[in-house]
Each structure stands twice: as structure tokens, then as C-alpha cells.
Amino acid sequence: MRRFFDAGRWQRGAAPAGAHEELCPACHRSNDGYPAGYMELGGAFFTAHRDEILGLVRNHEERAKTEHPLQRIMKIEDQEGGVLVTTTDIHLVRKIAEALHDAFKGELEFHYNEEENLLQVKWSR
């Protein structure tokens, strides 16, 4: 989906005629491989309910993108003992983590690096 800057914010959809094309900040992050949010998902419960949990993650991203087109998942990668989700925005990773905790409980840890504007989250159950 194309993104364009209009009326002071990035938006999704077809750009108006004559609009200047440029990569949005989220696309820059994705192209550079520089996420703003990291979320590790793991534990026995995660393994047993992987598809359901990742479905919640994807659904939450889809809802967020409609209002905030710069909030996107960059990758969902398998790693030893679970999955690593990277996002283009610290707010998205926090919202997903809180939604997981609300739905499934478990242990939730947040580590914010203000200098790098980076949020690392760990959820397990």
C-alpha cells in the first residue's frame, strides 16, 4: 500500500495528483533493517498456542495501520524457544504486548532506551 504525506500526517492510499513521492519513515526503517520495537514471544504456552497468538499480533497490527500507517510489523522471525517480532514504531510494539497480556496474561517486561528511541519487550507464558 502506498503512503503519502498530506495535511500534516502520513496517510495510506493513492497519493493526490502531483504529490511528491518519498519513502515514509517506516519504509526507511524497514529498508535499513532498523526496528524501533522488538518483542520476544516464548514459553510453553506460546508454543502450544502459537497460531492463535500470532493471529492476535497480526490483527492488532492491521487495526493500528488503519489510523497510524507508520505503525507496522517489519518481521516475525523464529528464534530458539519462540519468535521475535520487530516493528517500525515503539507504540505498536507496546500496544501488541499489552493486548497479549490482556488476552493471555503471562509475564511481560519492558525495556526502553530513550537515546535510541527503542523499546524491547519480552512476553512469555
* pLDDT digits (tens), the chain, 125 positions: 567 777 777 777 777 787 766 788 888 899 999 999 999 999 999 999 999 999 999 999 999 988 888 899 999 999 999 999 999 999 999 999 999 999 999 999 999 999 988 999 999 99
3-class DSSP assignment, residue 22:
coil
Is 73 part of a structural domain of the chain?
yes
Domain count within the chain? 1
φ, ψ dihedrals at 14, nearest 5°: -80, 130
Q: Which amino acid is at 87?
A: T
Is 26 part of a structural domain of the chain?
no
**CA-wise closest residue to 64 among 26, 14, 17:** 26
Q: What is the pTM of this model?
A: 0.86
Q: Name the DSSP class of 94.
A: H
Furthest CA-CA distance within the chain = 53
Give the pLDDT score at 2: 67
Give the pLDDT score at 1: 55
Can you give the residue range of the structural domain that contains 73? 34-124
Residue with cell 537515546: 115
